Amino acid sequence: MNKVWLIALPILLAACGKEAPPTTKVERPAETIVVGALATDGGNLYSGEVHARYETVLGFRIGGKIIERLVDAGAVVKKGQVLARLDGSDTGLQASASSAQLQLAVEELKRYRELRAQGFVSQSALDAKETALKSAEAQAGLARNQAAYTSLTADRDGVVSATYAEVGQVVGAGQSVLRVAQHGEREVLISIPESRFTSVHVGMPAEVVLSATGSGEQVLKGHVREISPAADPASRTYPARVAFDSNRAQVALGMTANVRLLKSAGKGAAQIGSAFLIPMTAVFQQGDKAAVWVVTADRSVTLRTVTVASYRDDGAVISSGIQAGERIVRAGVHKLAEGEKIVPIENGRAL
């Protein structure tokens, strides 16, 4: 047994004297974003939809069952064209009854005038028949109007932009059936958040960026034409309309557009600020100063102090300290250290 220990002892001593292999430092994956990838100019970039300046929602003036709808969305219509019809059975009967009552009142008045001339009836009885005739005429006119209201007609030339009712549906008086967009001026409907409402005003210059024009991205000049004074109760944003500076009737309705609001720079010119909108999670608070982690060319991070112009619901507006095109860490900033190397992640993929 002692011989075994004597043989094993040198092996154990040799193993204890061997240095442990060096540990390799694993690079930490980190979500990153390129400065300028989000909206610039202090966040004054809004997504919207192209609408006609004048749009009319049409509905029947009486209730009833729709028996015919002659147009679909996208149909070009002319003023006075019939777009849909209601079942006119009841209104037709009412018109016939009113017409019969009118004819009876005419004959009654004629007979009473003859009797009055012969002295068989009083003047008050004749006056009553004349009043009955006027009432019958009014009822007949109302019944004719009601019968005409069973046809829904276009009030202007345009295109049907939406349909809200189908054949067989029973609708009430004034219920929306069709929406017609008038030919001519186009504008973009956007929503202004509460935090930006006070900085937007009517007449403010804007750039409208259209991507689905068939000829690549197109940038058109425009201006804020209208801002709603009341916020939408659901989204708590203020609807605003941006009109094109020139007639853009060829821009398709419903097209998606990005609107960049510009700040006036005197003499009618416009300039875009140098601020950048970054996620709130990218801001690292170092004492009383704000900073961000900037990713260098060798994929290491360095802390850089920045100036925060304002904090908004959708991020922080940085006025200085970073440049467009630089990559910064957008999440997990409190886990990093100066000079630490990372694996940049963008949109779920390693770069």
- State the fold for domain 56-82+155-180: OB fold (Dihydrolipoamide Acetyltransferase, E2P) (2.40.50)
Per-residue pLDDT, 190: 92
pTM above 0.75, yes or no: no
Per-residue pLDDT, 320: 84
Query: What residues contact 312, with CB distance under 8 A and at least 6 apart?
Result: 43, 193, 195, 196, 277
The domain ranges of the chain are: 28-40+275-350, 45-53+185-271, 56-82+155-180, 89-148
- State the fold for domain 45-53+185-271: Elongation Factor Tu (Ef-tu); domain 3 (2.40.30)
Q: What is the pLDDT of residues 268-316, one digit of tens each?
A: 333 334 577 788 888 988 888 899 999 998 989 999 999 888 776 667 8
What CATH number should be reported for the domain whose range is 28-40+275-350?
2.40.420.20
Q: What is the mean pLDDT of the chain?
A: 82
Per-residue pLDDT, 272: 39
Instruction: Give the percent of the chain with pLDDT over 90.
Output: 28
Q: Which CATH superfamily is domain 89-148 in?
A: Helix hairpin bin (1.10.287.470)
pLDDT band at 210 (very low <50, low <70, confident <90, very high): confident
Most confidently predicted of 5-9, 35-39, 136-140, 313-317: 136-140
Count other C-beta atoms under 10 Å from residue 338's C-beta: 9
CA quadruple 201, 204, 207, 210: dihedral positive or negative?
Answer: positive
Structure tokens at 31: 């979500």
Q: What is the pLDDT of residues 214-269, one digit of tens each?
A: 555 678 888 999 999 998 888 888 999 999 888 665 688 888 888 888 765 443 33
> Can you tell me whether residue 103 is helix, strand or coil?
helix
Contact between 222 and 186 under an 8 Å Cβ cutoff? The reply is no
